[in-house]
Amino acid sequence: MSADVKSRFRAGAKVCSGAVIILLVIAALGPENWTPRTQFGWQFDHFIGYFAITLLLCFAWPRPLVVGGVLMAAAFLLEGLQAFTPDRTANLVAALCGAGGVLAAALVAELFIRAWRWRLRSTRGAKAARP
């Protein structure tokens, strides 16, 4: 992938991740009926939602452990702020489910990034060793 395409892709991912963060805050602190739900339960919704958001942010900023730390703190902060909304309550289990999704996605992203870098180094080394 050329540097120009990679730069444009990363810029697009940053714009999309900013929009997703705004939507996350609105869904977390807005009225409860604004929050999309699946039939799998709110624990799954928290886990998979934060998992997907973390992967998107890791495309934009390829530092998964930093992104993961920030998003874990955000998951707890948003859940705590729900105590101040009229139709919601703060729930530690919900915060832990969100943080678990963040951690899982950050570890997956870190694994893929390390594997990609290792692959690039090994192919460059193989090309340099050819006569």
Tens of pLDDT, residues 38-95: 899 999 999 999 999 999 999 899 899 999 999 999 999 999 999 999 889 999 999 9
> Band of the pLDDT at 131, cuts 50, 70, 90?
low
- Residue 34: the pLDDT is 82
More confident residue, 110 or 32: 110
Percent of the chain predicted with pLDDT > 90: 66
Query: What does the block give as tokens for 55?
Result: 């992967």
pLDDT at 130 over 90: no
- Residue 36: the pLDDT is 82
Q: Which amino acid is at 48?
A: I
Quote the pTM value.
Answer: 0.87
- Residue 32: the pLDDT is 85
The full set of domain ranges for the chain reads 3-129
What values do phi and psi take at 51, rounded to 5? -60, -50
Query: What does the block give as tokens for 75?
Result: 């998951």
Helices 64-81 and 42-60 cross at an angle (nearest 10°) of 140
When the pLDDT of each residue in the chain is averaged and rounded to a whole number, the result is 90
Percent of the chain predicted with pLDDT > 70: 94
Q: Which helix (H) or strand (E) covers residue 26, if one does?
A: helix 3-29
pLDDT at 1 over 70: no
